[in-house]
Amino acid sequence: MPPETIPVIAGQTVQPVEYRKIQSLTYQVAGIDLRDGKEALVASRLHKRMRELGLTDVSRYLHVVEADRTGLELITLIDALTTNFTSFLREPQHFDFLRGVIVPALSMHDSLRIWSAGCSTGEEPYSILFHLAQALEGKRLAGVELLATDISTRALGVASSGIYPAERMKELPEAWRKRFFQRGVGEQEGMVRVREEWRSRVRFRRLNLMEEFNSVPAMNVIFCRNVMIYFDKPTQQRLVRRFAERLEPGGWLLIGHSEGLMGMEHELTYVMPAVYRKPSGRKG
């Protein structure tokens, strides 16, 4: 990029060598394929954090990141660059599939383990839970184990609090609004919060998908939607294989409708667009 078009952060330019360093850090740590052409986005995202630290030089900020042995500033950098766009009932076909196919198929199971990988600010795992609450009752609902993970501590803070603008509820059925949410009053007017009895059913946890996740138990269903679009093909394939290892035989992997596993080597079987299943191992 010509020098005159290099984005400005807090009065300083983002030099090509600095951008390459940011690209390298985000790829190595989070698997994010930060391609050329994202310089302006990176500039605007880092501006706020640098201002908080009283820094006006990008190279000095990167030095702070690398010198922080706790790794917290690196997490903050990833947080700043991570896009956390999501919504309740996003790509609703998956929730119809969950209720209409997956739940009946596992009707004889005492437990149902679901992992929302890349849960962002929590709308996805809560949507999963609300659908299950309608499809299951009593003992079977109590047997649901719902794990929700994300690399962004900022997003997880919102998710665990379960607080959202009331206008986000317009897309939800009225019965859901009454059953699962409570309206804010006073200073919280205009906001809603997922009721504690439902928040407590989701286990939120920070997890970087590029790191080992052997501590995650075997799952019946893994939702990882609109996450792999940020990774290159080799990273996507490694992640899909690792997801397959964490699936129970016969378990399902649900990905975003803008994603696909074409051209990858894996053991999963195509079911329908954005839905794959691990072979059960049963014959006949």
Among 57-61, 79-83, 180-184, the range scoring the smallest mean pLDDT is 79-83
201-214: per-residue pLDDT in tens?
Answer: 999 999 999 998 98
Encoded tokens for 60: 């000095």
The residue with greater pLDDT, 132 or 2, is 132
228-280: per-residue pLDDT in tens?
Answer: 988 999 999 999 999 999 999 999 999 998 888 888 889 999 999 999 999 98
Residue 149 pLDDT > 90: yes
Architecture of the domain spanning 3-81 = Orthogonal Bundle (1.10)
Phi and psi angles of residue 248, each rounded to the nearest 5 degrees, phi first? -65, 150
Share of the chain above pLDDT 90, in %: 55
Alpha-carbon distance of 265 to 115, in angstroms, equals 22
Residue 85: pLDDT band by 50, 70, 90 thresholds? low
Domain ranges of the chain: 3-81, 93-277
3-state secondary structure the chain: CCHHHCCEECCEECCHHHHHHHHHHHHHHHCCCCCCCCHHHHHHHHHHHHHHHCCCCHHHHHHHHHHCCCCHHHHHHHHHHCCCCCCCCCCCHHHHHHHHHHHHHCCCCCCEEEEEECCCCCHHHHHHHHHHHHHCCHHHHHCEEEEEEECCHHHHHHHHHCEEEHHHHHHCCHHHHHHHEEECCHHHCCEEEECHHHHCCEEEEECCCCCCCCCCCCEEEEEECCCHHHCCHHHHHHHHHHHHHHEEEEEEEEECCCCCCCCCCCCCEEEECCEEECCCCCCC
Catalytically active residues, by annotation: 45, 150
pTM: 0.86
Share of the chain above pLDDT 70, in %: 93
Alpha-carbon distance of 246 to 221, in angstroms, equals 9
Residue 8 pLDDT > 70: no
Residues facing 13 on adjacent strands:
8
Alpha-carbon distance of 79 to 101, in angstroms, equals 35
pLDDT at res. 210:
92
pLDDT at res. 272:
93
Residue 5: pLDDT band by 50, 70, 90 thresholds? very low
9-43: per-residue pLDDT in tens?
Answer: 444 567 888 999 999 988 988 898 888 888 888 88
CATH of domain 93-277: 3.40.50.150
Residue 144: pLDDT band by 50, 70, 90 thresholds? very high
